[in-house]
């Protein structure tokens, strides 16, 4: 309790000295105010009608392009280190997941970053999103290969870039293979990343039901 209280006091001090401002309208109080959050464009149906193999369902609440508030928020989170904005962005996935009746024991599996990239950034944005959704989180995958950024590659090069990139985390034990899993990523474009991750999980006997991301680019 003492540690939590000290952390709370420190956070209050930081918020006073360095107040948060909305990344869109500059209103003080948070990195994404409620008014601007409501302006983020959403798909009418967050569940894709024809999900790519091997997924039974894909949940993506928003388009990425022509969605300036969302794209700015994601960019600030990933490249300007606005970690707290993940709490607001996770609400988009939380609301979308209400459209799907997930099994109660569903575990969220964030798409991992390579150790070097995560150490440089200080966090994994997919993990931040997952921890702000009301399901257990398990880091079942590791990124054993330092890959190039997918967004910088042509479609034909993305699969080659991710070959043998993911492995099962050897430090995770006692998770039943029948546990339903939901992969979490930030942005999906060609689904190459989540598909390769799902194949590694399924090859090792895990049941991957779904994947979810903030937006489709």
Of 134, 31, 6, nearest in space to 83 by CA:
31
Residue 67 — left, alpha, or beta (φ > 0 → left; ψ -120 to 50 → alpha)? beta
Q: How far is CA 144 from the centre of its chain?
A: 19
- What pLDDT score does 1 carry? 43
Q: Is the Cα dihedral 182, 187, 191, 197 positive or negative?
A: negative
Confirm if 148 and 182 have CB atoms less than 8 A apart: no
What was the pLDDT predicted at 163?
80
Architecture of domain 37-216: 3-Layer(aba) Sandwich (3.40)
| 3-state SS track over 41-94 | CCCCCCECCCCCCCCCEEECCEECCCCHHHHHHHHHHHHCCCCCHHHHHHHHHH
Looking at residue 9, its pLDDT comes to 54
pLDDT tens per residue across all 217 residues of the chain: 444 555 455 545 555 556 899 999 999 999 999 999 999 999 999 999 999 999 999 999 999 999 999 999 999 999 998 999 999 999 999 999 998 989 989 999 999 999 999 998 999 999 999 999 999 999 999 998 777 677 666 766 776 777 888 999 999 988 999 999 999 999 999 999 999 999 999 999 998 889 999 999 9
């Amino acid at each position: 309790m003492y540690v939590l209280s000290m952390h709370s006091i420190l956070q209050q001090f930081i918020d006073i000295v360095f107040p948060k401002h909305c990344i869109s309208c500059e209103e003080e109080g948070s990195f994404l105010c409620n008014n601007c959050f409501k302006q983020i464009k959403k798909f009418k149906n967050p569940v894709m009608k024809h999900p790519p193999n091997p997924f039974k369902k894909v949940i993506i609440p928003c388009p990425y392009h022509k969605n300036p508030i969302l794209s700015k928020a994601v960019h600030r989170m990933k490249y300007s280190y606005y970690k707290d904005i993940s709490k607001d962005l996770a609400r988009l996935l939380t609301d979308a997941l209400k459209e799907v009746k997930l099994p109660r024991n569903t575990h969220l599996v964030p798409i991992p970053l390579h150790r070097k990239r995560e150490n440089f950034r200080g966090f994994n944005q997919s993990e931040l999103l997952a921890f702000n959704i009301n399901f257990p989180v398990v880091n079942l995958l590791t990124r054993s290969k330092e890959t190039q950024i997918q967004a910088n590659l042509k479609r034909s090069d993305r699969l080659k870039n991710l070959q043998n990139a993911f492995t099962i985390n050897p430090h995770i034990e006692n998770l039943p293979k029948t546990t339903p899993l939901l992969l979490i990523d930030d942005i999906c474009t060609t689904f190459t990343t989540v598909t390769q991750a799902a194949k590694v999980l399924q090859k090792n006997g895990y049941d991957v039901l779904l994947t979810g991301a903030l937006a489709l680019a």
